[in-house]
Structure 1
């Protein structure tokens, strides 16, 4: 009974945090510039950014791994850090999915400023991303196990139509990322994106990935 109560309490706090996604303009997000726009996707150049990450190695599914990883990140921003600091919720929540292994990484954006170290038992890591480019496709509805791979595949096909092998553009296919901006209980108007890293766009600043950008 105690475990059930703790789980219900966490779910309520989880929903309370993410409701900010749909109703507050104060939520901070990583900064980017759209450098190319198409009917069903766009290419963005993101500035340098920092993310706290939770690795779910051998995860059973996108949905479960996202919930479990976010649970640890939630604790971190609500005081489970060496400064006992309360940090603001940001958007989006990212889940990076490996296409070769059953590994998932859930991430939360950290705005500029002092970043407190997480408590060791949370097993979180800090990822610092340099400026890089992303191909982005927006989609609505709830991001589920059965839909995220289809959205990634649709983005991949769109990229193949505009760039061939001789273009010099490299699309990273070892992993892709689902970005969720909406509260989980929001029924309509949900905002999700699928991200794929791209490099090699001449003059656009699209640099190759750092080793730690998975």
Structure 2
């Protein structure tokens, strides 16, 4: 089974789509999986450090100093009013029994049994309004929404914050009282796992996964390139606007600018011409008009 396109080529949980419950809600059955999880409780609504706790673990802050490839999605859950959790999916390249032990007591390895979920997918950036829209979609699809069901819902985010477009998010709602042929599901997942194992074996021969700092450097470089391209475009637009302003703001060369002169200035000009017994040229005289203005050359 090929990974969904929204996994962006990374490992993500195996599932089988059961049916479309509505235009916006899908019923899926997920295979058993393992997650690296951290739960934080703060009655004052603080927190936010769970990502770095998990990131340090997969970056080598564990008893084996093992670097673990990043996978997708990042799973978030509001457990109750004060507590929330964040989880990273265990990649297929490492068996659960081979996972290193966390050095941080708050980081845990969670075993998640096979489970059916109602799923609502959407784009953009995740926020409270998007979560409320998912709850409304579940309600419209015939699911009863209670406080317990809201706290049992999980948010799956598949993209990094710096990805601006073509983002993919999901809200998973555990589906109870759903009839599933679990034997058929296990056969399906066994086949999918075998295909995934062959995929990872092929990539293992191609070389090890690059360390996390390489990914971070790539992200930083990509950001700098985007900034440079954007700055270049802005520069070209500004230069173009200024060029057009200069081009179309030039005065008509057939129009003359006139400055006021006094009668004494006119007499002085006439005297200068008379000194050399020279008569003023016709075109020079024409430039002194009756209104007392002379044209500038």
Q: Normalising by structure 1, what TM-score?
A: 0.71
Q: Structure 1: which 5+ runs fail to align? A: 1-20, 165-170, 206-214
Distance 2:99 2:166 in 1: 32
Distance 1:202 1:22 in 2: 27
Counterpart position of 1:5: none
State which of 145, 148, 156 in structure 1 corresponds to 2:138. Answer: 156
User: What is the CA distance between 1:22 and its match in structure 2?
Assistant: 7.6
State which of 109, 121, 128 in structure 2 corresponds to 1:126. Answer: 109
Counterpart position of 1:54: 38
CA deviations over 1:139-181 (Å, ceiling 9, x no partner): 111112x324313322331332xx57xxxxxx94432111111
Counterpart position of 1:42: 26
Counterpart position of 2:210: none
- The structure with the greater share of residues assigned to helix is 2
Counterpart position of 2:55: 74
CA-atom RMSD in angstroms: 2.4
Question: What secondary structure, in the 3-state scheme, does the structure 1 residue paired with 2:49 have?
Answer: helix
Larger radius of gyration: 2
Distance 2:43 2:50 in 1: 10
State which of 90, 94, 119 in structure 1 corresponds to 2:71. Answer: 90
Pairing 1:139–2:122 present: yes
Q: 1:47 to 1:142 in 2, by over 3 A?
A: same
State which of 53, 69, 84 in structure 2 corresponds to 1:104. Answer: 84
User: What is the CA distance between 1:23 and its match in structure 2?
Assistant: 9.1
Q: Normalising by structure 2, what TM-score?
A: 0.52
1:178-189 equivalences under 5 Å are 178-189=155-166
Distance 1:128 1:157 in 2: 29
Pairing 1:196–2:170 present: no
Q: 1:93 to 1:47 in 2, by over 3 A?
A: same
- The structure with the greater share of residues assigned to strand is 1
Q: Structure 2: which 5+ runs fail to align? A: 183-297
Relative contact order higher in (CA < 8 Å, ≥ 6 apart):
1
Distance 2:16 2:141 in 1: 19
Distance 1:204 1:105 in 2: 31
Distance 1:158 1:204 in 2: 26
Q: 1:68 to 1:80 in 2, by over 3 A?
A: same
